[in-house]
Amino acid sequence: MKVTEHIEKAKGETLFSFEIIPPVKGRSIQELYDNIDPLMEFNPPFVDVTTSREEYVYIDRDGLLDKKLTRMRPGTVGICASIKHKYDVDTIPHVLCGGFTREETEYLLVDCHYLGIENVMALRGDAMKEETYFEPTKGGHTYASELVVQIHNLNAGQYLHEVIETDNCSDFCIGVAGYPEKHLEAPSLQTDLKWLKRKVELGAHYIVTQMFFDNQKFFDFVKAARAAGITVPIIPGIKPIAVKRHLQLLPQVFRIDLPQDLIDAVEKCQNNKEVRQLGIEWAIAQSKELKKAGVPVLHYYSMGKSDNIREIASAVF
Please say whether the dihedral angle defined by the alpha carbons of residues 131, 134, 135 and 139, taken in this order, is positive or negative. positive
Three-class SS state of 174: strand
CA atoms within 13 A on the CB side of 171: 9
Report helix, strand and coil shares of the chain as percent, to nearest 5.
Answer: 45, 20, 40
Using CA atoms, how far residue 271 sits from 43, 183, 265, 284, 304, in Å, is: 33, 32, 12, 20, 22
Active-site residue identified among 5, 8, 19, 267: 19
**Cα four-point dihedral sign 285, 178, 125, 151:** positive
Closest of 170, 166, 69, 58 to residue 116, by C-alpha? 170
281 catalytically annotated: no
Letter for the amino acid at 170? S
Catalytic residues: 19
